[in-house]
Amino acid sequence: MRIHFWSADEAGSGVYRAILPGMSLQWLGHQVSGGMLLPEDWQELDVVVGCRVAKSAPSRAWRTMKARGIRLVLDLDDDYLHLDPSNEAAYRVWSDPAMRKGLLDNMALADTVTCCSEPLAAVMRDYHGDVRVVPNGLPAQYLGQPRDYDPEVLSVGWAGTSSTVAELPMAVRALTRIAQYPRPGGVAVRLVGIDAAQAVGLGMRGKGMGALGWVPNFGHYLQAVSAFDVWVAPYRDIAFNRAKYPTKFLEASMLGIPLIASDIEPYRRVIRHGENGFLVKREHQWGRYLKRLVDDPDLRQRMGMAARAEASGAILQALNRQWEAALSAPAVERTAA
């Protein structure tokens, strides 16, 4: 097949739902292109995977491709129908009736809808009869990276974006305290995805605190978070978060890093509490589980390796057949140009 992944951005969503799937399909012998623009010879495509197509100009192109008989797969990485107002920029965009209508109309035109999680698929099945779940994945090379589970300076990390910084406050007190914890060598708290000004605005300042800011290159991002010895992933229990893919567990488990996450739907599905991670039900537990992991290098290693042992199911080599199945259903016969 000749496939084009028509991405909506070049950040995390574009990487997980376009660049990496496209690379994995090339390994199966398919001819794959990708980007935020359609190729000049788009008429020759067999399949277009459109990531959250909703704006007026892309919607016109979507309808034209449908008329040409190109197989259309609309991919969603989040629940854009239930955005939380705290994510102001995204909420402003997706609460626009024209954007919502565009998304739903384009979903109806699509031959198939793909998404990254079963809870998100449950939402999308109210709007389309063929919704396939294809999880996020990472290349197998990350499974083999060695780790030092007892470094001199221990790094506790959080990773997010300006759109997910609203999740961080529930763990701020615990992170601030652990940065002052009297461990030999000390504890460093590292925030990836927000800058120092944002960290200070959340009350995170002082010795042991550091903010790297936004890291646009995905490879550099994985390099930055691989320096974490303990990873925290706080999330509010809201509809938007319950439909997410547990990407932080994917990244942490691939890298062998023990994860402490909020006890909400996506993380509850993958974390076995006390075995391959910790689940937090109440705010004071962030500090409790952080202290346990900071104090015990053997626990860090057991938990990180237990998570890593399961990560083989999330490598791209285990997911490309799922993408191929979603994209290769019989297409409508093309009309004349």
The model's pLDDT over 6-50, given as tens digits with 9 standing for 90+, comes to 998 888 889 999 999 999 999 999 999 999 999 999 999 999 999
Closest CA to 34 of 15, 60, 57: 15
Other Cβ atoms within 10 Å of 184 Cβ, number: 7
Q: What is the pTM of this model?
A: 0.92
- Report pLDDT for 330: 58
- Report pLDDT for 161: 87
Given CATH 3.40.50.2000, say whether it is the number of domain 2-137+316-327. yes
Q: Which amino acid is at 68?
A: R
Other Cβ atoms within 10 Å of 252 Cβ, number: 32
- Report pLDDT for 101: 96
> What residue spans define the domains of the chain?
2-137+316-327, 140-314
- Report pLDDT for 323: 96
Tens-place pLDDT, residues 281-311: 999 999 999 999 999 999 999 999 999 998 9
Other Cβ atoms within 10 Å of 9 Cβ, number: 14
* Two structure tokens written together for 99: 């954007």
Interacting residues of 76 by C-beta distance below 8 A, sequence separation 6+: 51, 52, 113, 114, 115, 116, 120, 124
- Report pLDDT for 329: 66
Which residue ranges in the chain fall short of pLDDT 50?
A: 331-337
140-314 shares the fold of 2-137+316-327 = yes
Other Cβ atoms within 10 Å of 175 Cβ, number: 27
Q: Which amino acid is at 300?
A: R
Q: What's the count of helices (H) and strands (E) in the chain, helices before strands?
A: 15, 12
- Report pLDDT for 187: 97
Which CATH architecture describes the domain 140-314?
A: 3-Layer(aba) Sandwich (3.40)
3-state secondary structure at position 271: coil
